[in-house]
Amino acid sequence: MAEAKLTISSKNYSSWSLRGWLLCKLAGLDVEEEPVPVDDPSVRAELLLLSPSFLVPCLTHNGIKIWDTLAIAEYLAEQNPKSQLLPEELKLRSHCRSISGEMHSGFYNLRSALPMNLRARHEGFQVFPGARADIDRILAIWRDCLKTYGGPYLFGPLCMADAMYAPVCTRFLTYGVNLDSLTADYCQSIMVWPAMEQWVADAKAEPEELEELDVEF
């Protein structure tokens, strides 16, 4: 029996569920998945960016319930410091927390204009200026980290920040966002991470569809 339970929604559409799941994988925590269907009103509202959901992702572990992705990350880092969810050095740890927090609370235009949809491909997609500013900021964060810490991930080894930005890599792939060689290599490293490959395979096998996110752009 798994030692914890992680409540998630659609693997195809839910970026926050993906983040929570990747964080558990990084922490080495064996979790039982408890899916919430996309027709649940709260989950549907979150996927369509109408209102936040407090249902997913939600981690239940040792009688404790944690339902915010950043809170899940901090909880797992406290529970297993050797997991390297956070870098050991204070300077890197602070930087990691800063860019993870920026992802957690920002980039609304990107989320709205380029919703996560792992099964879709929209080549030649025209990104509106507000979302372009978000894309440029994310790419600047990535370049800074990759050049400063040497890659292949944002702080060298996989950590919390990579789980937080992993759904962005899928968005860039879905909508054909142009990347330079450094950021393209980073996205490729994330997409071939075995945990990501497992999630994507599961997402493609999902029968559920959310019509509003499967329209032709």
For residue 20, the domain's CATH number is 3.40.30.10
Find the domain containing 40 and state its range. Answer: 4-83
Instruction: State which of 51, 67, 83 marks the end of a domain.
Output: 83
Does residue 214 lie within any of the structural domains?
no
pLDDT at position 71 is: 96
pLDDT tops 60 at residue 117: yes
Q: What is the mean pLDDT of residues 183-198?
A: 98
Structural domain count, the chain: 2
Per the domain annotation, does 173 fall within a domain? yes
CATH number, domain at 96? 1.20.1050.10
d(CA 4, CA 37): 20
SS3 content of the chain, % helix, strand, coil (to 5): 55, 10, 35
Average pLDDT in the chain: 91
User: Among residues 83, 103, 128, which one ends one of the domains?
Assistant: 83
**Distance (Å, rounded) from C-alpha 214 to C-alpha 119?**
9
Taken as a whole, the chain contains a residue count of 217
Q: Which of 67, 76, 56, 59 is nearest to 159 (CA)?
A: 76
**This prediction's pTM:** 0.93
Taking residue 197's Cβ as centre, other Cβ atoms within 10 Å add up to: 11
Does residue 121 surpass a pLDDT of 80?
A: yes
In a domain, 206, yes or no: no
- With 90 as the cut, is the pLDDT of residue 54 above it? no
Query: Do 78 and 94 fall within a single domain?
Result: no
Tell me: pLDDT of 67 over 80.
yes
Asked if residue 68 lies in contact with residue 75, where contact means CB atoms within 8 angstroms, the answer is no
Say yes or no: 117 and 145 in one domain: yes
Of the given ranges (32-41, 83-92, 163-172), which has the lowest mean pLDDT? 32-41
